[in-house]
Structure 1
Amino acid sequence: MKLHKLVVGITACGLLSAAATANAETWRFGLEEIEGSVQHGYAEEFKKLVEEKTDGDVTVELLPYGTWGSTYSSLYDAVQSGSIPLGFGSGALGGTVPESQLLSLNFVMPADQMETAKVLNSDEFLKSDAWQESFRQRGLVPIAELAEGYQVWTSSKAIHEPKDMKGLKIRVMDNSLLREGYKAYGASPISIAYGELYSALQQGQADANIQPVFAHEEMGFYEVQDYMIFAKQAQFVATLMANEDWYEDLSDDQQSMLDAVTEELVEKGYSIQDEFNTERLETIKEKSNIEIIELDDEQRDKFRELAKPVRESFVDDVGERGGEALDILLSAFDKTDGDSADDASADEDEEK
């Protein structure tokens, strides 16, 4: 009799467990990067926290680069359609959300990477009407910003000043604002698919490249370049975005849980990128003879002055809402104690 009750109890528990599994929601999360990247590290922490905070009622399925298609636009389309409700969008997102090109502007963010992460995820910027509406008009909702480290140049020639970039065929993401920014430095920006970039650098179809350190290492770009240049002109930023209909269908508790998770991940995201980029830079130094160049303040100022007019082009291209988002971001950075990029907001006010 006791054995019978034990079997019944085990069976009942099994049925309850199976029922719970059957009723669990699955959130598909598309990444622009491969496993072992900063986005993947962040996504793993996101998955862990969501599943913990929902007691397993939600499972998160991670979809690294290549599992959803071969072009970034495929991922963005999937998030817009809802087939993948969560995804990252970065430099190439400008074709879908033009205002997102704001995060590609050079010499807007402070050199302090932690301050950048905090401001980008602050309610003042992230939840501002200007930023939210830029995405919501395209069926998307921005729910977090992941700063993945400095955008670092690699090149076949040394770069110390803008004159060194004259005519340089530098690969940029398919982003009109990035192209304009590097034209302002005198370069000849070109767009090449990420998966084809190594061979393009190797064969001389491109002379230079822009990536965070971890990407230079994991894709081996440093193997076919002679110089790595730190100008601290911008950080690589990816927006964690959700399908708008999917997000609005979440319960209030689920939305609050997402807020708690992304808030917790601001410092964690910084730690992940710092660890990745520090370790990967050491790997690059150990495995190659690439020359590291760090620009000083005087050299950076020469690039900064050429970058400022591109802000006006950004506003002209994307409209008033983009200008408002830029003003909010500059104002928020001016309030920090970090090494501000420049007196940007004051300049903007004078121009108005």
Structure 2
Amino acid sequence: MIQGQAYGWFVISISVLMFLLGCSPRAIDYDQVGPNDKLIIRFSHVTGEETPKGLAAKRFKELVEAKSGGKIEVQVFPNSTLYSDKEELSALKRGDIQIIAPAISKVSSVVPEALLFDLPYLFHDQDDVWKLADGPVGDEINILLEKQGYKMLAVWDNGFKQITNNKHPIHHPDDFKDLSFRIMPSRVLARQFDSVGATSLVLPFNELYQALERGQVDGEENTVSNIYSKKLYVTQKYMTKSDHGYLGYFVLTQKEFWESIPQESRVILEEVLADVTEWERNLALEIDKTEYAYLKERKNLELYELTEEEKKQWRSAFYPTYEWFVSQIHDDLIKVYIKEIFEEDFASKDK
């Protein structure tokens, strides 16, 4: 009887071990998938399922599985259920997951040039973002990512960031003085708040609501969809619609994993990604409008929209952030972009 029990536990242990190894086969050897094997892709992200990124991840799963006839399975893990935003890059590098879609700020830890997307008032609208992301500068950043073992598959939108806080309305740059804000891990964002006399604290997204609720920081910057979906407006008294910064996502995979996928499957994934990216970008615009209308109706949230003249004042106040960024990067293509495209425009309008 004892021997039977011991054998039973042995079988269970081996089964558990095989299951755990099977959850992440490509973390082990990256062998080519055979024509009759199912390719399993684990897609981990940190936002809610009803955000632009969450909805795009679900659509990606549905289209890939349908188009591949079930030969490719996409498992989506939203809301930091698998990894937090400070863990997911390392998990991807190890091969524990196969796709992530981190905020671009978080990619700057491996490619500092990605901080370009964080510069305040770099873009006038989403069209400006897409031209940059889909053009030579986006290609250059992907080259830099591949040198670190990653591959950028797409750039997804969330929209432009707004300011919320609990102390007082923020209309002018001087209103930031002595306030504290949660930021993503980005030296550009830290410099942005430094330039207007505020302090900043890096916190994971899944800790933000509690930090605001406890008063660990006075405020934060985020897109309308994140403020809405995570109910950040419940913890905040004031919101300034500033559109001062952009929040997008690099859809990333591990370069070695991607190159191990058979050509036929890779083509399916690429085609679906192209379709979903266009769909997601349009969806982000629609969600922003719908959920902003909802926030405007919240009685506990005092909302203020910056005038164009006030935006110019903010641009001028944030200008030292650009000077610092240009002094830190060494990539010639990105320096040319800043100096020839944006810096000239900034100087002519605001100096």
Bin the TM-score by the shorter chain. Answer: 0.7 to 0.9
Contact 1:80 1:138 in 2 (8 A): no
Q: Could you tell me how far apart the structure 2 residues matched to 1:200 and 1:131 are?
A: 33
Q: Could you tell me how far apart the structure 1 residues matched to 2:326 and 2:75 are?
A: 37
Which residue does the alignment assign to 2:17? none
- Pair 1:40 & 2:54 matched: yes
Q: Aligned letter for 2:343?
A: A
Contact 1:150 1:232 in 2 (8 A): yes
- Pair 1:162 & 2:173 matched: yes
Scaled by the length of structure 2, the TM-score of the pair is 0.80
Contact 2:42 2:99 in 1 (8 A): yes
1:329/1:263 Cα in 2 relative to 1: closer, same or farther (>3 Å)?
Answer: farther
- Pair 1:134 & 2:148 matched: no
Determine helix, strand or coil for the equivalent of 1:159: coil
Larger CA deviation: 49-58 vs 164-173: 49-58
Q: Aligned letter for 2:255?
A: E
- Pair 1:214 & 2:225 matched: yes
Contact 2:52 2:157 in 1 (8 A): no
Q: Aligned letter for 1:83?
A: D
Superposed displacement of residue 179, structure 1: 0.5
Determine helix, strand or coil for the equivalent of 1:72: coil
Larger CA deviation: 252-261 vs 24-33: 252-261
Contact 2:40 2:72 in 1 (8 A): yes
1:118/1:194 Cα in 2 relative to 1: closer, same or farther (>3 Å)?
Answer: closer
Which residue does the alignment assign to 1:204? 215
Scaled by the length of structure 1, the TM-score of the pair is 0.80
Determine helix, strand or coil for the equivalent of 1:89: coil
Counterparts in 2 of 1:133-152, with a 5 A limit? 133-152=143-162
Which residue does the alignment assign to 1:87? 100
Contact 1:32 1:39 in 2 (8 A): no
Determine helix, strand or coil for the equivalent of 2:199: coil
Q: Could you tell me how far apart the structure 2 residues matched to 1:313 and 1:32 are?
A: 30
Contact 1:27 1:85 in 2 (8 A): yes
Superposed displacement of residue 167, structure 1: 1.1
1:134/1:176 Cα in 2 relative to 1: closer, same or farther (>3 Å)?
Answer: same
- Pair 1:324 & 2:339 matched: no
Superposed displacement of residue 84, structure 1: 0.9
Contact 1:228 1:290 in 2 (8 A): yes
Q: Aligned letter for 1:250?
A: I
Which residue does the alignment assign to 1:176? 187
Superposed displacement of residue 294, structure 1: 1.0
CA displacement 1:63-112 (0-9 Å, x = unmatched): 1132223x3231111111222111112122322332222211111112x2
Q: Could you tell me how far apart the structure 1 residues matched to 2:268 and 2:337 are?
A: 26
Q: Could you tell me how far apart the structure 2 residues matched to 1:30 and 1:327 are?
A: 35
Contact 1:217 1:284 in 2 (8 A): yes
Output the aligned Cα RMSD.
2.5
Q: Aligned letter for 1:187?
A: A
1:147/1:279 Cα in 2 relative to 1: closer, same or farther (>3 Å)?
Answer: same
Aligned pairs, number = 312
Q: Aligned letter for 2:313?
A: K
- Pair 1:262 & 2:261 matched: no
Q: Could you tell me how far apart the structure 2 residues matched to 1:211 and 1:275 are?
A: 17
Point out 4+ residue stretches in structure 1 off by more than 4 angstroms.
Answer: 328-331, 345-348
Instruction: From 235, 241, 244, give the equivalent of 1:230.
Output: 241
1:326/1:155 Cα in 2 relative to 1: closer, same or farther (>3 Å)?
Answer: farther
Which residue does the alignment assign to 1:67? 81
Superposed displacement of residue 346, structure 1: 5.9
Q: Could you tell me how far apart the structure 2 residues matched to 1:64 and 1:299 are?
A: 37
Q: Could you tell me how far apart the structure 1 residues matched to 2:311 and 2:133 are?
A: 26
Which residue does the alignment assign to 2:289? 278
1:305/1:196 Cα in 2 relative to 1: closer, same or farther (>3 Å)?
Answer: same
Determine helix, strand or coil for the equivalent of 1:281: helix
Aligned identity (percent) is 22
Contact 2:64 2:272 in 1 (8 A): yes
